[in-house]
Amino acid sequence: MTHNGDTVVETRGLTRRFGAITALDEVSLAVPRGSVFGLVGVNGAGKTTLIKHVLGLLRAQAGSIRVFGLDPVAEPVRVLSRIGYLGEESDLPDWMRVGELLGYLQAFYPTWDEAHAEELRRSFEIDPSAKVKHLSKGQRARVGLLVALAYRPELLLLDEPSSGLDPIVRRDILGAIIRTISEEGRTVLFSSHLLDEVERVSDHVAMIHQGSIVMCGGLDEIRASHLRITIRFDEPQSEPPSTGAALGWKGAGQEWSAICDGQLPRFHQAASEAGARIVEQAAASLDEIFVARVANARLTSDKE
Ligand code: ATP
């Protein structure tokens, strides 16, 4: 695999099985340098498994993964020294005070930015004299994030950064993500099942379901190519028209809404032939697109 410097993480046909479960099924994606890349999927979709491959904690069973053009299993130090990571459970030493922990970590990271660490500590309202074991879950997440950001990594990797956290911590986390990317050339890859959050901060999105990528691309292009179209019939219908251009339908009786992925003329023609008129056409939310894509992937795999 040749490395393109504009791609920070690249997987090709990456596959991982745990016994009978296929956690990743031929996953191919590219995370562009400087992007905020949201990996979205429900619990068990394969997000953590993918992140573990980025960290070199799992070896590719089939296919490949490159991080900064390197194999993370073969070259863990060269890869990990450039990644700031925050997992679902931040693994911090309980017996230390926060200030001691920061001083201790600083010694390990040549690029540790003390002024930035202090700025984050103040904005996250973390007491340096507090013992790690006395921190709440939200405070621990803030410290974990501070540690991941303080040495200004090229790639910030966050696994479900806001799972179970209160909205204020979430806001802090998202604020920190945005600040991080505003610095030239830095990349954020984060997983989440909160689609509104992903939609708010990401510029690239990969939707993963049962180990497969059901959609991947720039958020602007995804938004521009997906519409929610509502149609109305004069008489109630038991089912929506078959247009061949809708990813999914919702509705009943006279009014039905479809998520449509760009084949508009075909959709309009089929709706009009079925005797319906278009009453609304608007951009679909990421949540609506995800639900329609996942349902569609399920239908396709059921047919196979
Ligand atoms: P969550 O949001 O719940 O963490 P996820 O999208 O991160 O979900 P993964 O943790 O990657 O999903 O899990 C994908 C699938 O692989 C699940 O069915 C999970 O049970 C399975 N799996 C993951 N790790 C292992 C393991 N070490 N042994 C067996 N099965 C595993």
d(CA 4, CA 7): 6
What local confidence, expressed as pLDDT, does residue 38 receive?
Answer: 93
Q: Are 16 and 61 in contact (CB under 8 A)?
A: yes
Ligand 1 pocket residue status of 240, Cβ below 6 Å: no
Q: Is 217 helix (H, G, I), strand (E, B) or coil?
A: strand
pLDDT, tens digit (0-9, with 9 covering 90-100), for 183-219:
767 899 999 888 888 888 899 999 999 999 999 999 9
Ligand 1 pocket residue status of 164, Cβ below 6 Å: no
In this structure, which residue's CA is closest to atom 25 in ligand 1? 18
Q: Is 151 helix (H, G, I), strand (E, B) or coil?
A: coil
Q: What is the pTM of this model?
A: 0.88
Ligand 1 pocket residue status of 47, Cβ below 6 Å: yes
Secondary-structure breakdown of the chain: helix, strand, coil percentages, each rounded to the nearest 5: 35, 35, 30
Q: Which residue has the tokens 């990528």?
A: 213
d(CA 197, CA 142): 17
Section 67-86 average pLDDT: 94
Ligand 1 pocket residue status of 48, Cβ below 6 Å: yes
- Ligand 1 atom closest to Cα of residue 41: 6
Q: Give the up-direction half-sphere exposure of residue 256: CA atoms within 13 A in the CB hemisphere.
A: 25
Q: How many CB atoms lie within 10 A of CB 154?
A: 16
Ligand 1 pocket residue status of 18, Cβ below 6 Å: yes
Q: Where are the alpha helices (DSSP H) in the chain?
A: 47-54, 76-80, 98-106, 114-123, 137-150, 167-182, 195-201, 219-225, 264-273, 286-303
Q: Which residue has the tokens 């799972």?
A: 163
Q: Which of 16, 17, 21 to mutate to test the pocket of ligand 1 (most atoms within 8 A of CB)?
A: 21
Residue 12, strand partner residues: 64
Ligand 1 pocket residue status of 21, Cβ below 6 Å: yes
Tell me the CA distances in angstroms from 87 to 82, 109, 154, 192, 230, one per residue in order: 16, 19, 17, 12, 41
The DSSP secondary-structure symbol of 245 reads -
Section 48-67 average pLDDT: 97
d(CA 12, CA 24): 11
φ/ψ (deg, to 5) at 93: -70, 120
Summary mean pLDDT of the chain: 88
Q: Are 286 and 198 in contact (CB under 8 A)?
A: yes
pLDDT, tens digit (0-9, with 9 covering 90-100), for 220-266:
999 988 999 999 999 999 988 888 888 888 899 999 999 998 778 88
Identity of the amino acid at 247: L
Q: Are 271 and 231 in contact (CB under 8 A)?
A: yes
Q: Are 99 and 127 in contact (CB under 8 A)?
A: no
Q: Which of 49, 157, 189, 195 to mutate to test the pocket of ligand 1 (most atoms within 8 A of CB)?
A: 49
φ/ψ (deg, to 5) at 13: 55, 30
Q: Closest by alpha carbon to 264, among 280, 245, 290?
A: 245
The pLDDT of residue 86 is above 90: no
- Ligand 1 atom closest to Cα of residue 24: 14
pLDDT, tens digit (0-9, with 9 covering 90-100), for 255-303:
999 999 877 888 889 899 999 999 999 999 999 999 888 877 665 555 4
Identity of the amino acid at 303: K
Ligand 1 pocket residue status of 144, Cβ below 6 Å: no
